[in-house]
Structure 1
Amino acid sequence: MAGFQKRTVGIVGGGAWGLALAHLLAENGHTPLVWDRDPGRLSKLRRSHRDEDRLPGVSLNPKIRYVDEMGALKDAHFHVLVVKSAAVSEVLPRLKGEVSPKRLVSAVKGFVGETLRTVSQAVAEVLPDTTYAVLSGPSIALEVVKGVPTSVVVASSDDSFAREVQMTFSGPTFRVYRQDDVLGVELGGALKNIIAIASGISDGLGFGTNSKGALLTRGLYEMVRFGTALGARRDTFFGLAGMGDMITTSFSPNSRNRYVGEQLGRGRRIDEILGGMSMVAEGVRTAFIVRDKARELDVDVPITEAVCSIIEGKASPVEALRLLMTRPLKREFYT
């Protein structure tokens, strides 16, 4: 990236993914400023450059700067929103008041609130003059910090901004592609979490690769069917934000959503599982949002329906599988 000006980038959210992105930026010679609503957590990060709970066994680049006040991010070249989806509605008004970002990248993988409202929709309402992009793809945070080769995609209607984000984050172990299907990339990042839960359930039941191959293939087609009904482009779901992220999240031992599914497959209750986790599994909430919207649109999402029935305790994993396998026979590709 010779000749590319180094950037100061404001990271809103100091969870595992926010820290991984900050680490990447620092490794690339940029200046990442990380804000989190927990000042005690930031203080520990300043001292140790480690987060053993979320990123065990690795040290973060010491050039990351941690700021206690959100307003300290104000003069960054652009900002990255990396909070859990349930917190977006709370954070955006504060971001508007204290920072007023002109350009914002979302690295959130989920929906805002309890309905199918994307981050781009929420940003358009709260920050209508802000140029928006979304960064997504197969990217387990711990692997990124370890320098495991990773590729993701950035989508924006403003190609010059997408190109800037692409060049800022890309480096020897992290490659960013770009495109303009913002909705498709946002949906891919959210929908794959449901399939990852289903994949974990299969693992928890002790099923093999036949089952997982079928599940991921049908899961991808379910994502395509639902996403295109909302106006996203079909090809996006066969890219990094769709199939790529789905595969990684469904296989990784570090995937929170796959873990939730695995525990469900072993017979544990959802409240017990979530109560023992320090990080959020976005797919649990997402599954019900997608199920309700799919029913409204009359879109067939049998895997999502099965995941919801298991989470609700209305069907055991074995019973949900039986219902899936004994559905009326169909053509492989249908709408």
Structure 2
Amino acid sequence: MPSDSKSIAVLGAGAWGSSLASIASANGHDVKIWSRSGSASLADTVKDADIILSAVSMKGVSKIAMELQSLSIPENAVFVTATKGLEAETACTPSQIWQKTFPTHSIVVLSGPNLSPEIQQKLPSATVVASYSATAAELVQVVFSSRHFRVYTNLDPIGVELGGTLKNVIAIASGSCDGLQLGTNAKAALVTRGLTEMVRVGVCWGAKAETFYGLSGLGDLLATCNSPLSRNYQVGYQLAQNKTLDQILIHLKGTAEGVNTCSVLVKRSREQNISIPITQQVYRVLQGEISPRQALEELMERNIKPEYND
């Protein structure tokens, strides 16, 4: 082990958690992985950890945070969240849950155009680590940077986090667009207007607009909206093939976080009067109220207006 080796605890042994663990291990760090189905205890995994990285699904974030709260966590441990989603009950992001549970610890968000199968193949990728603490972000940057995985820092964690979360809803719409064979023009318009919705929501929730034009916003949006490797894209594509949501989710490997995110986003945006027409149509499709083609027709029939009128 190199002299600057860190002890890394990775929570979640899915494709994403395993990919990040592999990067840190290849960089010479001491990595322990925990999952509910594994033999290692949570207490042993996080003992003496310099970095605790959570890659669990959104529905498990609050529960695992509460479990950790009862354990002995190193005073200077940095928490890294690599989960993309919104909590159904509170609409909180993962970093907000971690910060509320561990108010004296630094929280870092890791997000970007990072499809796990490509990272596992060591294809070139880039990501962003964001925190209100520049020191914490730089620590995580050093731990995970490699020849194949370029890591940038950012001081807008909520913007970085929302970029990775909100784009999943647009990816569902994008998958439907391809499933309906609507062409390049339609998809370009959809993704561009989807980014407009992401910025609108993000700024209202306290993020910086420029963050959404970086890797964790536009970058992740492009990757997820154009790749069959994306679970959210697959949901949209298969909906356009007349499969039901239940049929799709039963056979889907892993969690399509955009399904839950869409529901939470629609509810909160109604409360705050935020215009999200694409997301609203995706929600109606997911609820079985309309078909993907009907959703397209309704979007095309909306009142004409200037491109920028917010």
Q: Note the alpha carbon deviations across 1:165-202, whole angstroms, 9 max, x for none.
A: 00110010101000110111111111010010000010
Number of the residue aligned with 1:93? 66
Match of 1:156 among 131, 141, 157: 131
Q: Note the alpha carbon deviations across 1:88-117, whole angstroms, 9 max, x for none.
A: 111101112235253100001111233321
Count of matched residue pairs: 306
**What TM-score, normalized by structure 1, do the two folds share?**
0.89
Instruction: Tell whether the 8 Å contact from 1:201 to 1:262 is kept in structure 2 after alignment.
Output: yes
Partner of 1:104, secondary structure, is strand
Distance 2:92 2:273 in 1: 18
**What TM-score, normalized by structure 2, do the two folds share?**
0.96
* TM superposition outliers: structure 1 runs of 4+ over 4 Å: none
Distance 1:17 1:95 in 2: 21
Instruction: Tell whether the 8 Å contact from 2:211 to 2:217 is kept in structure 1 after alignment.
Output: yes
Matched, 1:202 2:159: no
Distance 2:266 2:79 in 1: 29
Instruction: Tell whether the 8 Å contact from 1:138 to 1:150 is kept in structure 2 after alignment.
Output: yes
Matched, 1:308 2:283: yes
Partner of 2:126, secondary structure, is strand
Number of the residue aligned with 2:43? 71
Partner of 2:255, secondary structure, is coil
Number of the residue aligned with 1:16? 15
Report the AA paired with residue 4 of structure 2: Q
How many percent identity over aligned positions? Answer: 42
Gaps of 5+ in 2: none
Number of the residue aligned with 1:53? none
Distance 2:260 2:3 in 1: 40
Matched, 1:169 2:144: yes
Distance 1:88 1:250 in 2: 25
Instruction: Tell whether the 8 Å contact from 2:88 to 2:264 is kept in structure 1 after alignment.
Output: no
TM-superposed deviation, 1:77 = 1.3
Number of the residue aligned with 2:109? 134
Q: In terms of mean alpha carbon deviation, does 218-227 or 71-80 score higher?
A: 71-80
Distance 2:24 2:233 in 1: 28
